A and B are shown apart, each in its own frame.
Chain A
Amino acid sequence: AQSVTQLDSQVPVFEEAPVELRCNYSSSVSVYLFWYVQYPNQGLQLLLKYLSGSTLVKSINGFEAEFNKSQTSFHLRKPSVHISDTAEYFCAVSPRSGSARQLTFGSGTQLTVLP
């Protein structure tokens, strides 16, 4: 079984400031890692994913996340946020193999970017 912990439920930050959203996971098997974003009144969208290879993965809108196996973490960062980044961010994992490949989500972090 897998579990995902997002340590911060709400993160307010001023525009153009850096931000880090924390995610830790626990799993008895090897997993893939994901960050999903949910803008107000919209569905879930994949932001970025770690499958294998380089532990630093980047999205097209400036977010990046680093997989740290020893700390079982997958924190999301952005060096300078915009008002439009205001959204709920969910960290998720899924098993790399086996028949039960559903996603397990963290509780979410509401990022609010202030002007």
Chain B
Amino acid sequence: SAVISQKPSRDICQRGTSLTIQCQVDSQVTMMFWYRQQPGQSLTLIATANQGSEATYESGFVIDKFPISRPNLTFSTLTVSNMSPEDSSIYLCSVPPGPGQGAGGYTFGSGTRLTVV
């Protein structure tokens, strides 16, 4: 399965600022997913990032708040814009199983623990 390098692993940010989270995959993948895990909650899908097209956002998430870039098949960024304390969460990227891997489970980045003060 793919290996994902996600950074930063954690950050403490001032409200009103923005943070960009990066995910680098060791193989080419068509789709990448971005999730948010609020304190004590499960994972919620923010958006699906496809290379060469606009990201698809889930209900409750908008591009102005969470712009996503997908410049190639191995890299994606998620920016959390104009942050408030309510944005304090763990953010994770994920990729589905690749060709030939069947449905062998999705791979997740190690997560970015964001605290907004």
Contact = CB atoms under 8 A, between A and B. Distances in A.
A62 to B, nearest CB: 19
Determine which residue in A42, A90, A103 has the highest number of CB atoms from chain B within 10 A of its CB, and name it: A103
Contacts of B94: 103
Q: How large is the interface on B (under 10, 10 to 19, 20 to 34, 35 or more residues)?
A: 20 to 34
A64 B63 CA distance: 40
A46 B102 CA distance: 15
Interface stretch (A14-22, A73-81, A104-112): A104-112
Contact of A102 (B48, B92, B105, B111): B48
B113 to A, nearest CB: 8
Interface residues of A, number: 20
Contacts of B44: 105
Contacts of B110: 42-43
A34 B96 CA distance: 13
